[in-house]
A = this chain, B = another copy of it.
Amino acid sequence: MVYAQIPDIIVGRLPRYLQVLTWMLSDGIQTTSSQDLGERIGISAAQIRKDLSQFGEFGKQGTGYSIPFLVNQIQAILNVKQVWNIALIGAGDLGHAIARYQGFANRGFRIAMVFDIDQNKIGREIGEFIIQDIAAMVETIRSADIKIAMITVTAQSAQGVAEKLVEAGIKSILTYAPVPLKLPPGIFIQYIDPIIQLQHMTYYLGN
């Protein structure tokens, strides 16, 4: 099967599949069908079959998909059989919550270091980490060969921090700051802003 060029929209659905499949597995379910999976996720059975068939023939006619097998395949496709180290920038309330979150481990990630600019925070502990001075960030991240960063600093600081991260060799950034980042091509950026999602819903709530 030729690995062609997979549309990004399909890649974006794979983590969702993985999430649900893992959840099913923890419920003791070993097998599923495109129909069943589709209902759980809220998309059509045809779409699931088409998506998965981009990467190989993972199912069996008449019986469906083996969940452990499928989980394995998707983990491999998404490169999360390994554990990725993440640098977390910003040790405010949100940074604290992320640093202490226990859900990264079995999904392919690990917070490896935490930085902040506030002298009162530097040196303090947060979860199992010691907050490091952002002044040393570029060098520290580069020598640890970390490729992924999460940003929880203020909107004002985000762009500056992001530029330093690129300098440090970071390739993927997940930012919680509600501002668009302008970075060189080749850097992947994802945004999390709960208010954007709330406003999407209030449109339908009428007035």
State the A residues within 8 Å of B (CB).
Answer: 11-12, 14-16, 18-20, 23, 40-42, 77-80, 82, 84, 86, 92-94, 96-98, 100-101, 103-104, 107-109, 147-148, 150, 155, 171-172, 174, 178-180, 182, 188, 190, 192-207
Q: Tell whether, in the assembled complex, residue B192 and residue A147 are in contact, meaning their CB atoms are under 8 Å apart.
A: no
Most chain B beta carbons < 10 A, residue from A18, A42, A147, A194:
A194
Most chain B beta carbons < 10 A, residue from A108, A197, A201:
A201
List 11 additional A-B contacts (Cβ < 8 Å) besides A15-B196, A42-B180, A108-B199: A15-B199, A19-B180, A19-B195, A19-B196, A23-B179, A79-B202, A80-B202, A94-B101, A148-B202, A148-B205, A188-B205
Interchain nearest-CB distance for A206 vs B (Å): 7
Q: Tell whether, in the assembled complex, residue B190 and residue A192 are in contact, meaning their CB atoms are under 8 Å apart.
A: no
Using Cβ atoms and an 8 Å threshold, which residues of chain B touch A193? Answer: 19
Using Cβ atoms and an 8 Å threshold, which residues of chain B touch A16? Answer: 196
Say whether, besides A16-B196, A96-B97, A196-B15, A203 and B103 are in contact (CB < 8 Å).
no
Using Cβ atoms and an 8 Å threshold, which residues of chain B touch A84? Answer: 198, 202, 205
Q: Tell whether, in the assembled complex, residue B78 and residue A199 are in contact, meaning their CB atoms are under 8 Å apart.
A: yes
Closest B-chain residue to A76, C-beta based? B207
